[in-house]
Amino acid sequence: MQKKIIVSTLLSVVVILLSLGIISNISIHESIRQSLNERSELAGMLANYTDYLLQNNLTRLYDVSLSGAIDLHDGDWEPEYRALKTAYQYSVFTDGIFLLDLKGNIVLTYPAGQLKRNIMDIPYVRKTIEENKAVISNIYTEEGTNRKVIYVLVPLKDRDGNTIGAVGGEINPTNYILNNIIRAVPIEPDTIIELMDSSGVVIASNNPVRIFACSDRNKILGNLIVSKKRAVMECHRCHEGENDRKGGKVDEKTIDMLAFAPLTEAPWGISVRESQKRVFAPSSKLKKKFLILGLVSIGSALVLALGMSKSIVNPIKSLTSATKRITEGNLKEPVAALSKDEIGILSSSFEMMRQKLSDSLDKIQRYNTELEERVVERTRELQQSRKRLTTLLNEVMRAQEEERKRIARELHDETSQSIAALGMSIEIATIALREHELTPEKIYELRGKVTQLLEGISRIIQDLRPPVLDDLGLESAIRWLLERHLAEKGVRYTLFSSEEFQRLITSEDAPIDTKTIFRLFRIIQEAVINISKHAQASAVSVALEYEDSKVYVSIADDGIGFDVNDVLRNIDNGVNAGYGILGLRERVALLEGKVDIESTPGEGTHIAITIPLSSLEVQDV
């Protein structure tokens, strides 16, 4: 028996170690693959973002033709100048935009520059005009000035759609826009990210000394750019004296892993180069852990086998016999305690188990049944909660995007236009001042435009966060909310705030902070906006009270009402409905509160919210 225990224990350990070796090998290879995929995905993400940036700026150049203002023969260059100015603003064309005729002559530039210069000898210009298609160049060095520039050119068409030349933009490779794409990525100090053209020349890099340098594998990377293929490869960092992006010296002839992703809009590519040691660091640590685990397992197995062979064999035989009796259903014969050590304790415990086993069988069966029912119920509840959270997250993301679009639209339609009009008015006033024609009326007109601009900005700020909440408190902010969303639509409202509640939020030693007051405001805002959008109510009442260390909020309307259970079922089933109720519940849950909604179709809705003061109190950090 002793030999069998030792042999079987060692064999078990060997089998476990073999299984562990297979699992570790798979895990290590998976770790390596995951590390390489992460670098490849990073390169692809940067390539996609650069493509997006270039596509937006190509669209700006195409918009010059689409403006309908292009006529190279009418002698009036003002419309063309405005079109170039519009395309230049907020673009990457830091060195300017220009118009070319079919012979390659520069006929107009913005900002104003040298005209009547022929650049037909530049291959990219010739390709655009001869092949009538958009071109994004590699880094090009101008003859004479040795200025390095990137050309972006598209065909230029007149109002009738005929090609009459080209419109192009010049990008300075050292401008902050291209470099910020790469430098904004949080990476390790020895990781090098580079944007390069098809000749292997570095356009942008998080290591400034690498800009305009030629990549080690320019031919291979150039072929990948032409074939539009991603790749992950091994390379050597053998630049003597090369610095990393923080200025430290890198080791000579170190082995790196290079992930490469080509762009689709330009003959460029993104490379992410990192030392092989860092890339494979997780897998190396995993190997060491598995090795240590194997050695510990072997040592533990030997000790365990020897101990078991000396002190367990005989008592185990007795317990085995007792086990057989119990297995056969004989629960009457007692189990003898053979010793006072752990085996003896085990024998006593085994005897107690034998005594209670019969009584426990029925209980275990009942418990199993109840447990299965609870597991099914909890699983269903978790699935419903997950669906609700997913639905709410999607709605939050959609609402964020809608709010961003609204703010961007308001800034563009009102603020930007007001600023532009103000700028033109100031320019006109400057001219009038020089000609001694500046009148008080024109100054008042300028002041009116400034006032209009400030009102537009103030309106946007109020939509983002009402200043009245910070300046006058929660009650005034709620009244402003009711005025804005209900009274302006003809809905009557009443607002009641108890004295206890007012003391709670206004006293100098109030137990709640401004952040919590803001969350409470957002809860009421969610309910009011839902009423404004869906209730079709003619009257709304809001009551705020504080009693028994709890805040009570009551909101009632006389609108069309709805079936609460039906809406909740739709939420659980993923139907696009009930986001307001779901958002309201989640906001209240964040404050450990409870919300009760009573509503009947045609009879209005009542929302009762209860929040314990303990969840509103300021927590010491």
Which pLDDT score, from 0 to 100, does residue 152 have?
93
pLDDT in tens, 501-530: 888 877 766 667 777 788 888 888 888 888
Cβ–Cβ < 8 Å for 542, 554: yes
pLDDT in tens, 295-322: 777 777 677 766 666 666 666 667 777 7
pLDDT in tens, 570-584: 766 666 555 677 778
Which pLDDT score, from 0 to 100, does residue 542 have?
93
Which pLDDT score, from 0 to 100, does residue 155 have?
92
pLDDT in tens, 458-508: 666 655 666 667 777 788 888 888 888 888 888 999 999 888 888 887 776
Nearest to 225 by CA among 268, 271, 273, 270: 268
Which pLDDT score, from 0 to 100, does residue 240 have?
40
Report the alpha-carbon distance of residue 193 to residue 271 in Å, rounded: 6
Instruction: Look at strands 539-547 and 492-497 and give their pairing.
Output: parallel
User: Which domains are present in the chain?
Assistant: 67-171 (3.30.450.20), 176-244+251-278 (3.30.450.20), 467-616 (3.30.565.10)
Cβ–Cβ < 8 Å for 262, 228: yes
What's the chain's average pLDDT?
A: 77
pLDDT at 241 over 50: no
**Higher pLDDT residue, 12 or 616?**
12
Q: Where are the alpha helices (DSSP H) in 104-161?
A: 123-131
Query: Mean pLDDT over residues 327-352, rounded?
Result: 68
Which pLDDT score, from 0 to 100, does residue 435 have?
74
Query: Mean pLDDT over residues 613-621, rounded?
Result: 56
Nearest to 167 by CA among 183, 154, 177: 154
pLDDT at 26 over 90: no
**Higher pLDDT residue, 544 or 117?**
544
**Higher pLDDT residue, 240 or 60?**
60
Neighbours of 456 (CB within 10 A): 19
Has this prediction a pTM greater than 0.85? no
Most confident of 130-144, 342-356, 415-429: 130-144
Nearest to 210 by CA among 172, 173, 257: 173
